[in-house]
């Protein structure tokens, strides 16, 4: 199963939405939108914009939230939004 992971940081929302659409068009079966710390809210915005674009064809596989260790060894909250496109 081909999965594209899109980590949301400082780029414009539209860039991440475009990455997701291109991933699906290039055959990715699943896209995982990841947001950590203060980017969690932005990851949800990316999801909402993607859903506006792909409408009912976008299916949510799972939304996972939790805490993991950052590169600096400190706990950081995260969200992982797994989506597929069912035509």
DSSP category for residue 23: H
Q: Applying CB under 8 A, does 24 fall inside the site for a second copy? A: no
| HEC assignment per residue over 40-70 | HHHHHHHHHHHHHHHHHHEEEEEEEEEEEEC
Beta carbon of residue 64, minimum distance to a second copy (angstroms, whole number): 7
Q: Applying CB under 8 A, does 41 fall inside the site for a second copy? A: yes
Beta carbon of residue 86, minimum distance to a second copy (angstroms, whole number): 18
Beta carbon of residue 35, minimum distance to a second copy (angstroms, whole number): 8
């Amino acid at each position: 199963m081909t999965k594209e992971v899109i980590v949301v940081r400082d780029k414009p929302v539209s860039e991440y939405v475009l990455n997701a659409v291109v991933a699906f068009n290039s055959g990715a079966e699943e896209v995982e939108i990841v947001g950590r710390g203060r980017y969690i809210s932005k990851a949800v915005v990316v999801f909402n914009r993607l859903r506006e674009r792909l409408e009912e064809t976008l299916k949510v596989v799972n939304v996972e939230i939790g805490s993991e260790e950052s590169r600096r060894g400190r706990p950081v909250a995260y969200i992982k939004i797994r989506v597929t496109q069912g035509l």
